[in-house]
Structure 1
C-alpha cells in the first residue's frame, strides 16, 4: 500500500529529487527541474495541487508494508501535479485542469496498481478545482506510456489524443533587430490581454490572460501597434530562477560527439547543447498572438523577438499542422521536441458534462511555458 497526501514545503527536497530522477525520454533525456525550491515555481499560471506518495510504512503500517513489498519506511513512491488554468475550449473561456508532473520512483515503475491508486485519488485531492475538462501532454517518443494510457484499461481515466504540439528551441544567434516589437506599458495590458484572448480562441487549451495574471507571471510583454489597436502581442518569460530544462543524457553517437557538435553549432548558428547535468539557457516566447494582417511577416517577427531575447535560446510551441511551422523550421533551424496533447476524462466528462462539449476541430495549442 501507499499513502497519498498533499505535499507541503517540508517535502521540497523530496519533490525536487523525484523531478531530477525522472527525465523525459528522447534523443536527449530532459528533466524538468524546479531548483532551488519546488514551491517557488508553483502557482505562476493557475492554482496547483501537488500530491506525494510514500510507502505505507510512513503512516505506521510497517508490517503490512513489508509483506506487500511496496517499499521501506518513508520512501517516496511518486508524485503528480494538478493545475487549474483559465483556457479556451471551442472558443469559450473556461477553467481547465492540467495533469502534469507525474513522476514515479524508478524502483516502482511499471506497476499498474500504483498508477490506478494515483489516478483514483485525483478527484479527492482536487475537490476544490472547478474544472470539468482535463488535459495533459505526453512526449511523443514515450510510446510505452502512450500505448498504456490509450488502451482504455479499467481503473484508468480515458485518454483521447488530439494532436501533436511541437516545442521549438530557437537560437538567439539567428535573431535580427527590425524594430517591430516595442515593450508594453503597464497601462496597456488590458487592451493587450483582450487582443490576445480574441486571437487565442482559435486554439484549444490556449491561455486566457488578464492584467493581474499577466503581471503575476513576471514575463515582459511586447506589442506591435496596428491602425486600431495592437496587431500582435508576445511575452518573453525567463523562468530559470525557479524552473529549468536540464539535460541528463544524450543518445549515441551524440553523447560522444557533443563537443564537436557544439563547435559546429556555434559556426552554423544552431542550438549549443548543454552538457549533461546543466540546464538549457532559455526564455519562453509566451502568449504569442498575431492578427491576420501580420501573419505574412511572422518570420521577421520571430527574428526581432530573438534579438530581444535575454538568453541563448528562445522556445515556443506550435501545433503540428500550423502554417508557421515549416517556415520556422527552415529559416531558424531550431531543435524540436514533440508531445501529444490529450483530453483526460475521469468519468467520461467530455461526453456527458452539460457545460463541456466535444472538440469542434480547432487544433490544440496550449502555452508550453505553463506545461
Structure 2
C-alpha cells in the first residue's frame, strides 16, 4: 500500500483507487451512483437522495462521515460508504455509536481486494475517531453481502450477528376500524416536545442501540421533514404512555422503482387495475417513486401490545387517503411489540443486524433487545 499526504490528510492509495472523505463537490456523482445501483428484488428499487446527498444524511445520524473510492485513471466514483455517529443507549448507558450504511459500489470495482482495502481505510478512520460500538444492517435477501462482508473473510473486520430486524411494508388499502385500548390518542404539539424526549429516552434506555435524543435535535435537522403534528401520542390521565410518528421523507430521500421482476411483472398491472376501483394508490411505472412514510419514534410504556396496536391503527387510518403506497416499520425479532404488524397486509422485508469489530476487544453486550429506528435506515 502507498500513502500520500494531501492537504495535511493521509489517504490510502491502491492500484487505480484512492479512498478519502467525500466533499460537496461529489454530491452529483454520489446521487448518480445511487440511481445506477438499485437493490435487486421482485421490485428492484434505487434509494435516491434528491436534490442533495449530504442534506439527506442528517436524519441518519448526528454526524455523517461519507467516504468514497475514486478511480485515479478517470476520476470516476467507484463506490461510497458512510459512517453515521450518534449517542445511543448501550447496556443502558449513553455511549457513542456509529452506524455503517449506504454501501454502493459500481459493478466494475466489486472484488475482494478493493473491499478489504476499503475496510483498511475505515479502520484508520476509527483509529482517528473511535466509537464505542459499530452497527450495520444487511438486507436478508442480499446473499452476496452476507457471503462476503459478514463472512469473517481474512482482512475484513469481524461481523457479530445481533438478530433479524423486521422492516415490513404495510400496504395502505381499505380503511380499518379503530382498536380500543385504555388510552386516548392525539397529535403532539410543540408544548409536548420536552415530555416526548424524556419519554423516549426513558423507554429507549431499556433497548440496545436505541438513539438518545436531546430537545435541541428538533432544531438541528435530525428530524428533517417531520412535523410536530405528525407525532401521535397515546395518553392515560394526561400522561404520555406511547409515541409513534408518521414521517414522510420523499422531499429528500426517495425510493425509485428500477424494475418489476418475476411475479411482480403481472402483479403490478393487476394491482393497478384494482386501484382504479378502490382507494388503493396505483404502483408507479418503471422509474417512478414509491410513496411511503416511516413509522418512527415507536415506544410504549411497559411494551403494552394493546396500546401499541391502538396507536398503530390510529396512525394507519390517518395515512390512508394520503396517496401513500405503504408504511415502513422496524422492530427486532425479539421486540415484544412486533406482533402488531400482523394486523395488516404487508410485504415482508428485513435485514440482519450486526455489530462490527474494529478493536482487538469487543464491547460486551448484556442481552437487551436491539432497536433500530426505521426512519434512519
Structure 1 residue 317 corresponds to structure 2 residue 330: yes
Q: 2:302 is matched with which residue: 277, 287, 292?
A: 292
Structure 2 distance, partners of 1:269, 1:334, is 16
1:46 matched residue in structure 2:
62
Q: Please report how far the alpha carbon of residue 162 of structure 1 lies from its aligned counterpart in structure 2 after TM superposition.
A: 0.8
1:254 matched residue in structure 2:
264
Structure 2 distance, partners of 1:31, 1:181, is 35
Q: 2:214 is matched with which residue: 210, 215, 237?
A: 210
Kindly report the root-mean-square deviation, in angstroms, between the aligned alpha carbons of the 2 structures. 2.4
Once the two structures are superposed, residues 256-285 of structure 1 have per-residue CA deviations (whole angstroms, 9 ceiling, x without a partner) of 441113334677877854332222211111
Structure 1 residue 83 corresponds to structure 2 residue 84: yes
2:107 matched residue in structure 1:
106
What is the TM-score of this pair, normalised by structure 2? 0.84
Structure 1 distance, partners of 2:124, 2:57, is 20
Q: Please report how far the alpha carbon of residue 119 of structure 1 lies from its aligned counterpart in structure 2 after TM superposition.
A: 0.8
Q: Please report how far the alpha carbon of residue 132 of structure 1 lies from its aligned counterpart in structure 2 after TM superposition.
A: 2.0
Q: Is the 8 A contact 2:126 2:358 kept in 1?
A: no
Once the two structures are superposed, residues 187-224 of structure 1 have per-residue CA deviations (whole angstroms, 9 ceiling, x without a partner) of 32121111112212232222212221144313233322
Q: Please report how far the alpha carbon of residue 26 of structure 1 lies from its aligned counterpart in structure 2 after TM superposition.
A: 2.7
Structure 1: gaps of 5 or more residues: 58-72, 351-355
Structure 2: gaps of 5 or more residues: 1-14
Q: Is the 8 A contact 1:180 1:304 kept in 2?
A: no
Q: Is the 8 A contact 2:188 2:232 kept in 1?
A: yes
Q: Please report how far the alpha carbon of residue 47 of structure 1 lies from its aligned counterpart in structure 2 after TM superposition.
A: 0.5
2:196 matched residue in structure 1:
192
Structure 1 distance, partners of 2:234, 2:66, is 38
Q: Secondary structure of the equivalent of 2:329?
A: strand
Pairs within 5 Å for 1:318-333? 318-329=331-342, 331-333=343-345
Structure 2 distance, partners of 1:266, 1:285, is 27
Q: 1:223 is matched with which residue: 233, 245, 270?
A: 233
Residues 285 and 114 of structure 1: is their aligned pair in 2 closer, same or farther, counting only changes over 3 Å?
same
Structure 1 distance, partners of 2:370, 2:354, is 9
The structure richer in helix per residue is: 1
Pairs within 5 Å for 1:236-247? 236-247=246-257
Once the two structures are superposed, residues 320-339 of structure 1 have per-residue CA deviations (whole angstroms, 9 ceiling, x without a partner) of 2334434422x211222110
2:9 matched residue in structure 1:
none
What is the TM-score of this pair, normalised by structure 1? 0.86
Structure 1 distance, partners of 2:137, 2:45, is 15
Q: Please report how far the alpha carbon of residue 116 of structure 1 lies from its aligned counterpart in structure 2 after TM superposition.
A: 1.1
Q: Please report how far the alpha carbon of residue 249 of structure 1 lies from its aligned counterpart in structure 2 after TM superposition.
A: 2.0
Residues 271 and 289 of structure 1: is their aligned pair in 2 closer, same or farther, counting only changes over 3 Å?
farther
Structure 1 residue 169 corresponds to structure 2 residue 169: yes
2:315 matched residue in structure 1:
305
Q: 1:339 is matched with which residue: 322, 329, 351?
A: 351
2:367 matched residue in structure 1:
361
Q: Please report how far the alpha carbon of residue 105 of structure 1 lies from its aligned counterpart in structure 2 after TM superposition.
A: 0.7
Q: Please report how far the alpha carbon of residue 144 of structure 1 lies from its aligned counterpart in structure 2 after TM superposition.
A: 1.9
Q: Secondary structure of the equivalent of 2:265?
A: helix
Residues 164 and 79 of structure 1: is their aligned pair in 2 closer, same or farther, counting only changes over 3 Å?
same
Q: Is the 8 A contact 1:34 1:244 kept in 2?
A: yes
Once the two structures are superposed, residues 27-63 of structure 1 have per-residue CA deviations (whole angstroms, 9 ceiling, x without a partner) of 2222211012212212233100111111123xxxxxx
Q: Is the 8 A contact 1:176 1:304 kept in 2?
A: no
Name the count of aligned residue pairs: 348
Structure 2 distance, partners of 1:93, 1:247, is 38
Structure 2 distance, partners of 1:35, 1:277, is 14
